[in-house]
């Protein structure tokens, strides 16, 4: 992969929202989601880009959308490229190419659809406190990062403040019903959608994780979003990227430890080494740390897509 130009942020007409990593534009019936080269660690966005990261993330989402049948139907109409840009954005096509997705605008179910195949992060924390994760009872004596007998669906609330709370599936179904009722649709439509979202989340996770593991990457867990669009439930947002999922190198996986992240390990190790307090402002990051990080994203994509 040749080295792409870097993009820290976009400032085009129609900006709807700026996330930690992605800039969102309102195109009317569609949205444009631009994956920039911003990188966050410990929930703080660094001041320097990882050049090309956004392109890799967008290509990865597209790769999975095309590979895995349960991703259908989904929201992606096309990825911006030279000769193909939304009307009014042609002049910016060079900076958007390969990294901006034009998608159908949906009503996103206000529930994060999380699948876990391994006991780590918030799931591990909940298990230690209660023996359960999102209301699901697990066997006693499991260790940190242990592979689960079968993947579990552990939804959480989708909050704008960033602190998502784990909820039971029953509660997720209720929330989805209230959501469609608030849109003037039957509550049963939302409840049915949540059942479908659970089934598809687990199918996507199982198929994606099996594929990734055959390529040396453990997909420990993932977060998906689904939205309603003209009576259909579309898979939305990003799909099985290192920003929405935990990627671990399979060869250094060790149960009982917190495995290193495939992509962010150099950055986190560096931030730990300088004893940065993990709150803004971010410190300057040495070029070689950014470069190592970039090579990890390239490597993850190369392993998966060949
Ligand atoms: N097809 C779609 N229709 C409507 N909304 C969508 C669609 N696809 C994605 N979204 C929404 O776009 C937003 C993307 O912004 P978000 O704040 O998650 O960006 P981000 O860079 O991932 O930030 P963060 O790291 O804070 O999550 C999300 O709120 C997501 O629900
Ligand atoms: Mg997000």
Choose the CATH number for 107-252 among 3.30.470.20, 3.50.50.60, 3.30.450.90, 3.30.70.1450. 3.30.470.20
Binding site membership of 75 for ligand 1 (Cβ less than 6 Å): yes
Give mean pLDDT, residues 280-288.
97
Residue 213, classified by CB atoms within 10 Å of its CB into exposed (0-12), middle (13-18) or buried (19+), is middle
- Name every residue whose Cβ is closer than 8 Å to that of residue 108 and which is 6 or more positions away in sequence: 158, 225, 226, 227, 236, 237
pLDDT for 161 equals 72
pLDDT tens digits along 33-79: 999 999 999 999 999 999 999 999 999 999 999 999 999 999 999 99
DSSP of 4-50, one letter per residue?
Answer: PPP-S----TTEEEE-SSEEEEE-SSEEEEEE-S--EETTEE-SS--
Binding site membership of 237 for ligand 1 (Cβ less than 6 Å): yes
What percentage of the chain exceeds 90 in pLDDT? 96
pLDDT for 162 equals 67
**Computed from CA positions of residues 124, 65, 306, 53, in that sequence, does the dihedral angle turn out positive or negative?**
negative
Architecture of domain 1-105: 2-Layer Sandwich (3.30)
Binding site membership of 24 for ligand 1 (Cβ less than 6 Å): yes
pLDDT for 2 equals 55
Angle between helices 169-182 and 187-214 (to 10 degrees): 130
pLDDT for 198 equals 98
pLDDT above 80 (res 101): yes
Give mean pLDDT, residues 276-286.
97
Residue to mutate, 46, 53, 225, 245, ligand 1, most ligand atoms under 8 Å from C-beta: 225
Ligand 1, atom 16: nearest CA belongs to which residue? 19
Whole-angstrom distance, CA of residue 108 vs CA of residue 226: 6
pLDDT for 3 equals 58
What is the reported pTM? 0.96
Binding site membership of 31 for ligand 1 (Cβ less than 6 Å): yes
Residue 279, preceding peptide bond in cis (omega within 30° of 0): no
> Confidence band (pLDDT; 50, 70, 90) for 5?
confident
Chain CA centroid to CA 168, Å: 21
pLDDT tens digits along 131-176: 999 999 999 999 999 999 999 999 999 987 767 899 999 999 999 9
107-252 shares the fold of 1-105: no
Give alpha helix (H) positions in the chain. 53-67, 93-96, 121-130, 169-182, 187-214, 265-273, 287-305
Domain extents for the chain?
1-105, 107-252
Whole-angstrom distance, CA of residue 33 vs CA of residue 10: 11
């Amino acid at each position: 992969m040749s080295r792409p130009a870097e993009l820290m942020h976009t400032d085009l007409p129609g900006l709807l929202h700026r996330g930690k990593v992605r800039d969102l534009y309102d195109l009317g019936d569609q949205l444009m989601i631009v994956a920039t080269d911003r990188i966050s660690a410990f929930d703080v966005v660094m001041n320097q880009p990882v050049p090309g990261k956004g392109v890799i993330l967008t290509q990865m989402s597209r790769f999975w959308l095309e590979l895995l049948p349960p991703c259908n139907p989904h929201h992606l109409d096309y990825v911006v490229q030279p000769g193909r840009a939304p009307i009014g954005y042609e002049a910016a096509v060079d900076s958007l190419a390969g990294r901006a997705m034009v998608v159908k605008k949906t009503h996103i179910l206000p529930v994060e659809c999380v699948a876990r195949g391994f006991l780590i992060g918030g799931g591990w924390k909940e298990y230690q406190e209660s023996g359960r994760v999102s209301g699901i009872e697990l066997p006693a004596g499991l260790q940190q990062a242990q592979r689960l007998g079968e993947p579990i669906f552990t939804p959480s609330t989708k909050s704008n403040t960033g602190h998502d709370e784990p909820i039971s599936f029953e509660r997720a179904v209720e929330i989805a019903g209230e959501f469609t009722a608030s849109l003037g649709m039957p509550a049963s439509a939302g409840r049915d959608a949540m059942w479908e979202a659970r089934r598809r989340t687990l199918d996507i996770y199982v198929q994606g994780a099996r594929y990734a593991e055959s390529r040396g990457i453990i997909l420990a867990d993932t977060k998906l979003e689904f939205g309603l669009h003209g009576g259909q439930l579309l898979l939305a947002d990003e799909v099985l990227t290192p920003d929405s999922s935990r990627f671990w190198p399979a060869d250094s996986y060790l149960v009982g430890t917190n495995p290193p992240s495939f992509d962010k390990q150099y950055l986190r190790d560096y931030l730990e080494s300088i004893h940065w307090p993990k709150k803004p402002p971010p410190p300057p990051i040495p070029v070689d740390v950014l470069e190592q990080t970039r090579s990890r994203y390239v490597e993850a994509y190369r392993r998966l897509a060949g």
